[in-house]
A and B are shown apart, each in its own frame.
Chain A
């Protein structure tokens, strides 16, 4: 699927550039003050994902189309000469949907409990809630190797990325989404070093 997305992105890049209206404010996902604390078995995150929706995506959300945002985390051990080794990776998908009858935004799958549904009266609250990294504790697949040799290594590095999953949109919307930058909401991989 990733290859497809890449190909589509390449194929439509020219169209995208052509379709972008000058002066359009490009909404972006970003990460503010990312942080993490490593314990033997967990990684406790802090910080905030700023999930600013574009005009188009906000309109689609208002019209009842659920948006799925995938948040991925990675943990690396930094190595001096060769590439860093990946120790663990996590992926969570959250969805946000407008409930017209109750005039609320429903956020599903936040945190570790996928069935959890939270409702918010404003979009801002909902997005802020979705983007909260504070108190998120991720279990490590195996205990960190803290032998003296490893301890003296360069330390650890965490990465986070949040993006709108276009593939989860209704099929008719996908070609439009692929061909418009309004729908390409992505933080890109944001890295930071974890203090030992």
Chain B
């Protein structure tokens, strides 16, 4: 706080202005004093001191300011360079002319002062003085002669008569004052023209030197200036006694010079003295003028420099503010506002700057808001995309993958983390197993079809799957070229479900339309046989019996078939309980102990059951039916095979982070025909002449009712294999 106050005092315009005015007044007075002005003459030294101190103060202020400026310059403070340049310019503008004027003025003053003095005038003054002296010497010589005469006349007069004698002599010679002194300088008698008044009660005493000179017998005569500026002649002569033993006396003659002579003499004296003084003072006068002028020049320069510093600071201040402001804006401080002062162009600039930053800030804020909204939208979209069951892929105008979602990865069963920014052609090369999918995409993307839908089938690790693809070109936003978006679903399950539903419907119809008439047909055939058997002959009876038997058998067969369909179509009514799969397998295998008379054709069931297998949550009857169907299916399939063998194995596995019991059934037959394999679990898909064609369809249905997974394949070494996975009970 104190420091800033000090700085304000050091750099403000008011202190410098006040100081400048004071110093300039002091200078004016000093100049007047140099001219011997009576008013300021006494103040000369004070003024000189004030000016010198003022100059020192100014110098200190300037030094302080320059130091600050240099420090700022070194620290690269904004605006210091411009201030420095401006200062240098202003100082050179101010100082150089002053310096030139100073030098020329100094020369002019010196020459001017020298020109006051002239040899002729000096000679004239000397001559006037000599003339004056000569004139007064005539008076003096005359007075000396008179004094000597008077001295001779006084030789005979005693001290007692001296006064009378002096009066007479003074009257006779028209003198101002006559005084007779004893040898020791004591007044014996005195006669004065002025009379005995208080002022001149005592005669003007000759000094000791004069007295001693006269005592030695010498005359003294000289011109004496009197106190009031007048001149008088003083002549002092010895007065000898007539007797040898008489003491020496001394006579002093004072003669006031005539007024005219006195005035002229004084005038000559004064003029000479003044001129001499002036000649003598020439040097000091030059020094004084030089000093004054130097002070004027110095103070002017210092004031100019101070003013330049102030002006430069003042001028640069708004520019510095603006520079700092723009720097701040450049660094992202859009709320930067500068102080608005004054009404000049700078203030207009500052106001414009403030308006600009306000607008930038507003725009920035809007932008941020939009960005936040866009982010929210993006997050929303991403969330939606991530949770969509449909796979979504989007491509840019260069057919490079932009976005994909989790469902897309799951449906295609690939890791897509390396896909983005890859071109569709590159993807095709990388994933030949998806070639059908990618080809369909490529065609649609390349052709930029507006609305497009296609169903394709891909075969991969998870088997044969049907995908429904829908695509659309994205709308063109401004100049940004559009991309392409593809949405696809795995409709395999859906198609299967639809097919299952259709078969269910068929089964129900069959139950309704076929099964119902079967019982009356059977009863009617039995009644017919019973009623007409007795009326017919043996041959007829045989034929009737054969025919009714055929009807009854076929009706029975139809019933069986319809029941099978019914079972297939019926919704599950599971009675779930903990089940040991191995025990169920062993129960079923016992039923099929020796299925054929011919040991060559008897089905051998091998078991490879894992120990300590965990239980599953299942309906044991339904699982038995699964095993039963599998074994039956194998038995039928292996009917023509020598040494038919079916291997049933169980083990615990982990799939997708969950525990499963895997039941694998594989035989040593010919395997599934390839054309059947894809539709193996669909009803009425069978390679056998016998059978309802529902065996494996029911197996699959039951497995799926238990949330299990079933798959079928042919083994490499031959033989069919069916793989069932059932979730372990938790």
Contact = CB atoms under 8 A, between A and B. Distances in A.
Nearest to B288: A172
A65 B278 CA distance: 10
A132 B265 CA distance: 31
Interface in B212-266: 222-227, 231, 265-266
A171 interface: yes
Contacts of B268: 101
A120 B53 CA distance: 44
B284 A101 contact: no
B276 A63 contact: yes
Interface residues of A, number: 37
B222 A104 contact: yes
Q: Which of A99, A118, A170 neighbours the largest number of chain B CB atoms within 10 Å of its CB?
A: A170
Interface string B175-186: 000000000000
B44 interface: yes
Given A1-B45, A4-B45, A170-B36, A65 B225 contact: no
A117 interface: yes
A59 B269 CA distance: 18
Contact of A102 (B41, B222, B274, B285): B222
Nearest to B226: A117
A167 B207 contact: no
B97 interface: no
Contacts of A7: 49, 53
A165 B36 CA distance: 17
B467 interface: no
Contacts of A119: 222, 224-225
B460 interface: no
Interface in B634-662: none
Contacts of A178: 45
B277 interface: yes
Contact of B49 (A4, A170, A171): A4
Q: Which of A60, A103, A120, A172 neighbours the largest number of chain B CB atoms within 10 Å of its CB?
A: A172
Nearest to A125: B209
A73 interface: no
Nearest to B274: A64
A171 B225 contact: no
B356 to A, nearest CB: 57
Interface string A167-189: 10011111110100000000000
B209 A173 contact: no
B48 A175 contact: yes
Contacts of A175: 48, 284, 287-288, 291
A121 interface: yes
Contacts of B226: 117
A176 B224 CA distance: 33
B316 to A, nearest CB: 37
B223 A102 contact: yes
B43 to A, nearest CB: 9
A175 to B, nearest CB: 6
B52 A104 contact: no
A167 B272 contact: no
B136 A101 contact: yes
B132 interface: yes
B222 A121 contact: yes
B48 A65 contact: no
A103 B287 CA distance: 30
Contacts of A60: 280
A170 B281 contact: yes
A142 interface: no
A30 to B, nearest CB: 22
B284 A100 contact: no
A188 B283 CA distance: 29
Contacts of B225: 99, 101-102, 104, 106, 117, 119
B41 A100 contact: no
B376 interface: no
Contacts of B279: 63
Contacts of A170: 36, 277, 281, 284
B207 A120 contact: yes
Interface in A1-20: 1, 4-5, 7-8, 11
Nearest to A98: B273
B722 interface: no
B687 to A, nearest CB: 131
A115 to B, nearest CB: 6
A92 interface: no
A170 B41 CA distance: 8
Contacts of B33: 171
Contact of B288 (A5, A63, A118, A171): A171
A133 B287 CA distance: 38
Interface string A155-170: 0000000000001001
B34 interface: yes
Given A4-B49, A8-B48, A120-B209, A101 B223 contact: yes
Contacts of B34: 171-172
A126 to B, nearest CB: 10
B129 interface: yes
B42 interface: yes
A161 to B, nearest CB: 20
Given A129-B207, A172-B287, A100 B49 contact: no
A129 B45 CA distance: 31
A64 B285 contact: no
A101 B280 contact: no
Nearest to B32: A171
A8 B207 CA distance: 40
A69 B616 CA distance: 138
Nearest to B265: A101
A175 B293 CA distance: 14
Given A99-B225, A121-B209, A173 B284 contact: yes
A175 B295 CA distance: 13
A172 B285 contact: yes
B234 to A, nearest CB: 8
A100 to B, nearest CB: 5
Contacts of A106: 225
B106 to A, nearest CB: 16
B133 interface: yes
A146 B42 CA distance: 43
**Top 3 A-B pairs, shortest CB-CB distance:** A64-B273, A63-B280, A102-B223
Given A98-B273, A101-B272, A172-B287, 16 more contacts: A8-B48, A59-B280, A63-B276, A63-B277, A64-B272, A64-B273, A65-B280, A99-B269, A100-B276, A102-B231, A117-B227, A119-B225, A120-B207, A170-B36, A172-B36, A176-B283
Interface of B: 33-34, 36, 41-42, 44-46, 48-49, 52-53, 129, 132-133, 136, 207, 209, 222-227, 231, 265-266, 268-269, 272-274, 276-277, 279-281, 283-285, 287-288, 291
6 contacts: A101-B133, A102-B231, A125-B209, A171-B288, A175-B48, A175-B288
